[in-house]
Amino acid sequence: MKRLRVLVVAGALALGTAGAGTAQAAPAPSGAASGCPAGEVFATDNTAVITDPADPRLKTRLVRFDREVRGIVHANGARTGRSTLLDGVFWSGDLKQTTYERSRQFEVNRVNRDGLHHIAGVIAKEYHQESVLTFRCLPRTSPETDAVEIRASGVSATRLHDALVADPHARDELGGGSVTLDGQLILIAPLADLSLARNFTAKLGVDWSKAEVRYGDEEFVS
């Protein structure tokens, strides 16, 4: 996955629990029921630059990739939860246009920070990726917290594309995003860009009071 801020599915954590605060967005239940795994990995096996949204490569369901990544996770002592198929829309500063990518988000359990980093590094090397994005949920006050992950529903890849094209500042700072097949997205952004992320989701038609937010640590592993 390119070294970009990524919109993907996520959940929220309640203030003062293992799932942190919500920046005035809707909280999720605390504890395991919040759906917050020990870690998340966002990755693809694609190495091509795809600029046509009708490219047939964007229809792949990455079934084999799903199976292989689960094998990598298990071989390194962790366990996988859900795997979610994503449609990504990104802005290329070099090409001066949007690019597209089909990828997957993997929930990873029974893993610590170093283990998650190692797994992402193996995936990056195996599939010749510039980098693989990871996210760990942490309390908002944790010294390791440096990012937010925002979930919202009712967004299509087309709407995401149009919003990126219309907002040069957001596309340069946030890079792009991914949408699940049922129309949910998440923005992983630095804490310093929380206001920008909130404004960008508003342009996508998101009601911030219904959005869900996690705090945590993001890393691009190469």
Asked if residue 26 belongs to a domain, the reply is no
Q: In the predicted model, what is the mean pLDDT of the chain?
A: 86
Residue 209 and residue 25 in contact, taking contact as beta carbons nearer than 8 Å: yes
Give the helix/strand (H/E) hosting 79: strand 79-92
CA–centroid distance for 199 within its chain: 18
- CA-to-CA distance for 151 and 25, rounded, in angstroms? 10
C-alpha distance from residue 112 to each of 38, 74, 115, 180 (Å): 7, 14, 5, 26
Asked if residue 95 belongs to a domain, the reply is yes
Encode pLDDT of 177-195 as tens digits. Answer: 899 999 998 789 999 999 9
Residue 4 and residue 170 in contact, taking contact as beta carbons nearer than 8 Å: no
- The pLDDT, as a whole number, for residue 11 is 31
**Domain of 122, in residue numbers:** 31-221
Asked if residue 200 belongs to a domain, the reply is yes
Domain count along the chain: 1
For residue 158, give every residue at least 6 positions away whose Cβ sits within 8 Å of its Cβ, in sequence order, or none.
none
Question: Which is more confidently placed, 7 or 123?
Answer: 123
Asked if residue 5 belongs to a domain, the reply is no
Asked if residue 78 belongs to a domain, the reply is yes
Asked if residue 202 belongs to a domain, the reply is yes
Asked if residue 60 belongs to a domain, the reply is yes
- 3-class secondary-structure state, position 45: coil
Asked if residue 19 belongs to a domain, the reply is no
Encode pLDDT of 80-135 as tens digits. Answer: 999 999 999 999 988 999 999 999 999 999 999 999 999 999 999 999 999 999 99
pLDDT at 5 over 60: no
pLDDT at 56 over 60: yes
